[in-house]
Amino acid sequence: MITKTNNSDLDTSSKYFYRLSIQISLNGLSFCILDTVQHTVVSSDRVTFHKELTPYQTLKELRQLFAKHEIAKERFAEVIVIHRNKLFSLVPKPLFNIDELANYLKFNARILANDHIAYDELEEHDLVNVYVPFVNINNYVYELFGAFIYKHHSTVLVQSLLNEHLNAKEPIVYVHVFEKEIDITVVSNKQLLFFNNFEYETQEDFLYYLLFTLEQLKLDTETVDLKLLGTIEQDDELFKLCYEYVKRVTIFYPNSNFAIPLANEELETIDFTVLNAL
């Protein structure tokens, strides 16, 4: 079993200056490599599965992705694995008890008795994210690189968006579009108002989850700011559909301290959470 690793446990004195970020989902994989000296993303790729795989099949796909880019031959100053799944629950830190991890999950997700449960602390925001990581993936990454950091994708997403708009007083709705999934995050006045993940098959499903969230939070579709990010562009049908019902819609381009070579089309599609985990 792999135990959770902190930044202080890693070999930061290594002569190697590349950092690797990997996102694992049963619907796809993505990664990017950052050159910490040039502060440049030097490599990236994304794989989308035609159907949801098992953790075993996902590991097989990861091995193939690593072989394609010869990643296993590299050595990194830091490796970060991001687990993307629905087996998570955000808990206010004052209510968090490390002895109750399974109880935070059992009402929202189906967990097994032998599931390993981990948690991330969002210290600046008084939140704890309790989740089930893909243990077979963690074991494989540990075999290759030794000590590494792992997090849940919602940890990276929520923390990044909260940090992005610390001065936002009015509610902002962020919709992160993934492969047949969306993450809806609502922030206001430096606080997280709402976060949840939804699966959708049709555009109507997408719209339902969005409008239902706005209705429950009593947010006015005429005045609320809706920012879309991920695998969506302004000329997409989903964007046009959102604009029919929500008047203030934009594509969100997060601030980045990393130089991305735009000549490489693959690097233009780096997943938000993969980049912001670095």
Task: Please name the residue ranges forming H helices in 185-253.
Answer: 203-216, 237-245
What is the side-by-side strand order in the sheet with 40-48? Answer: 40-48, 28-35, 18-25, 78-84, 149-152
In this predicted structure, the answer to whether residue 42 has a pLDDT above a threshold of 90 is: no
Q: Model's pTM, two decimal places?
A: 0.88
Torsion of CA 116, 121, 125, 126, to 10 degrees: 80
Q: What is the pLDDT of residue 265?
A: 46
More reliable by pLDDT, 137 or 274? 137
Residue-range domains of the chain with CATH: 7-159+256-276 (3.30.420.250), 166-251 (3.30.420.260)
User: 42-51, 94-103, 160-169: which has the highest mean pLDDT?
Assistant: 94-103
DSSP assigned state of 259? B
Of 24-33, 111-120, 216-225, least confident by mean pLDDT is 111-120
Do the beta carbons of residue 26 and residue 43 sit within 8 Å? Answer: no
Q: What is the pLDDT of residues 69-113, one digit of tens each?
A: 999 988 899 999 999 999 999 999 999 999 999 999 988 778 877
In this predicted structure, the answer to whether residue 266 has a pLDDT above a threshold of 70 is: no
CB proximity list for 176: less than 8 A, separation 6 or greater = 157, 182, 183, 184, 185, 229, 230, 272, 273
Mean pLDDT of 18-32: 93
Q: What is the pLDDT of residue 251?
A: 92
In this predicted structure, the answer to whether residue 186 has a pLDDT above a threshold of 90 is: yes
In this predicted structure, the answer to whether residue 14 has a pLDDT above a threshold of 50 is: no
In this predicted structure, the answer to whether residue 268 has a pLDDT above a threshold of 60 is: no
Strand ranges, E, within 156-224: 172-178, 181-188, 191-199
In this predicted structure, the answer to whether residue 147 has a pLDDT above a threshold of 60 is: yes
Cα–Cα dist 221/273, whole Å: 27
More reliable by pLDDT, 25 or 256? 25
More reliable by pLDDT, 230 or 151? 151
Other residues' Cβ atoms within 10 Å of the Cβ of residue 170: 11
Looking up tokens 């920012």 gives: 227
In this predicted structure, the answer to whether residue 6 has a pLDDT above a threshold of 80 is: no
- Tokens of residue 75, six digits: 């050595």
Mean pLDDT of the chain: 86
